[in-house]
């Protein structure tokens, strides 16, 4: 979970952990890229609006380094089509709008896990 706001990270991490998923947190794009370089992840939730390096920039760097094998879900507080398009254009696989709901997260994780060839 990559987000500069602790409350946002805590909420999503809590949802994922209650469903049995292991989680790792990053506070910004550069720290996320460091973690991604050190460890493969099954799924990344990436906030779009972070200071220094946006989620779109971090996603482009991650895609350049790791290709498309690692699903990245954009997390945004902007509920318009332009925000969604920006996430997808950056290389994200899906988008969830804040405030996130348990149902949104469950649906996305299930879709991504089901779509994986090694699932």
**The CATH classification of domain 6-114, taken from the options 3.40.50.2300, 3.40.50.10600, 3.40.1260.10, 3.40.30.160:** 3.40.50.2300
Instruction: Tell me what the pLDDT averaged over the chain comes to.
Output: 91
What integer pLDDT is reported at residue 118 of this predicted model?
Answer: 56
Helix, strand, or coil here: 2?
strand
pTM score over 0.85: yes
What integer pLDDT is reported at residue 66 of this predicted model?
Answer: 87
SS3 annotation, 19-55: CCCCCCCECCHHHHHHHHHHCCCCCEEEECCCCCCCH
List, for residues 66-105, the tens digit of each pLDDT value. Answer: 888 889 999 998 888 998 999 999 999 999 999 999 999 9
Q: Return the domain boundaries, the chain.
A: 6-114
Question: E strand or H helix at 73, and its extent?
Answer: strand 72-76
What integer pLDDT is reported at residue 37 of this predicted model?
Answer: 92
């Amino acid at each position: 979970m990559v987000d500069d706001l602790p409350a946002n990270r805590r909420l999503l991490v809590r949802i994922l952990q209650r469903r049995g998923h292991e989680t790792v947190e990053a506070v910004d794009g550069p720290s996320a890229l460091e973690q991604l370089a050190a460890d493969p992840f099954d799924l990344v939730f990436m906030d779009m609006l972070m200071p220094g390096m946006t989620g779109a920039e971090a996603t482009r760097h991650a895609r350049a380094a790791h290709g498309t094998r690692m699903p990245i879900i954009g997390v945004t507080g902007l509920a318009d089509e332009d925000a969604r398009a920006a996430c997808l254009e950056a290389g994200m696989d899906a988008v969830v709008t804040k405030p996130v709901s348990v149902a949104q997260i469950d649906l996305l994780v299930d879709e991504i896990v089901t779509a994986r060839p090694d699932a």
